[in-house]
Amino acid sequence: MTGRERINAIMNKKPADRLSWTTIVDNATLSKLPDNIKGMSGIDFYRYIGCDIFLLNCWGMNMDFSSPQLVWSEDTKTNYKYEDGKSIHELKSSKGTLTTIYRNGHPIKYPVSSIDDINIYMQIWENAQFIEHDDNQVYDNINSIIGDDGIVTRFWGPSTIPKLLEYDMGVMNFYCLLNDYPDEMDALISTIHKKELEAFEILAKSPCDVIILCENTSTFYISPDVYRKYNGRHVRDFVDIIHDSGKIAII
């Protein structure tokens, strides 16, 4: 079996000639490898070590999928700046401004930390939409590079709760706001998830046969109650939409 045949067989619960194994590598890792393989592309590295290629989006390549694209309304303005080693991202609406500060790619200030911020973010998401683009050419280009050595998958996530925890609020703000303003938080979560459903529908039209929702659902920061109330339902919606399109969903 080729790598492509092997992975497709496993994805469709059919017999394979052997165990399929794979890995993922980025440019930072590739730059630290011995001289004889330093500077290889990710695809060449996978072939060098003999694994099947299970590519997440266009990982490590100079192309990428563009659909679905999150687009804010004309009322929402974005501004990026860099100061004192920190990256500052401002999201401005008629109700106010939300500011995220990153250092070395990690958030050190989250944009949503108060009830006022919730109201601003709610307005921003109510007016947002996901736009569909044609990714067939990118898909064909990647497939021609991978050949029979594996497949390319569509990689998406996180869903609403991990997004709020990791990028928008942080753990402390999330649980404090959920405790102090349960109705407002519930409304915000519902609003974001409804928009994510649009994204799931677009993902289901992707040229990729395997769609992956990637998120951290560790009990260190998502309680069983929160998972049952929100995450589990959100993930089920994702799986149902992808399955209804005849594609494979992976969590």
pLDDT at 61: 85
pLDDT at 110: 97
Is 134 inside any structural domain? no
Residues 161, 193: Cα–Cα separation, whole Å: 9
DSSP reduced 3-state for 7: helix
Is 165 inside any structural domain? no
Domain residues for the domain of 84 are 73-127
pLDDT in tens, 77-126: 999 999 988 999 999 999 999 999 999 888 999 999 999 999 999 999 99
pLDDT at 159: 95
Q: What is the CA radius of gyration of the chain?
A: 20
pLDDT in tens, 234-250: 999 999 999 999 999 99
Max CA pair span of the chain: 59
Number of domains in the chain: 1
Is 91 inside any structural domain? yes
CA angle 161, 170, 107 (to 5 degrees): 120
Is 94 inside any structural domain? yes
Is 45 inside any structural domain? no
Mean pLDDT of 141-166: 95
Is 57 inside any structural domain? no
Helix (H) or strand (E) holding 212: strand 210-213
Confidence of residue 55 (pLDDT cuts 50, 70, 90): very high
Confidence of residue 26 (pLDDT cuts 50, 70, 90): confident
pLDDT at 154: 96
Residues 178, 200: Cα–Cα separation, whole Å: 26
pLDDT at 27: 85
Q: What is the pTM of this model?
A: 0.91
Mean pLDDT of 166-189: 97
Is 87 inside any structural domain? yes
Is 2 inside any structural domain? no
Phi-psi region of 15 (alpha: psi -120 to 50; beta: other; left: phi over 0): beta
Confidence of residue 60 (pLDDT cuts 50, 70, 90): confident
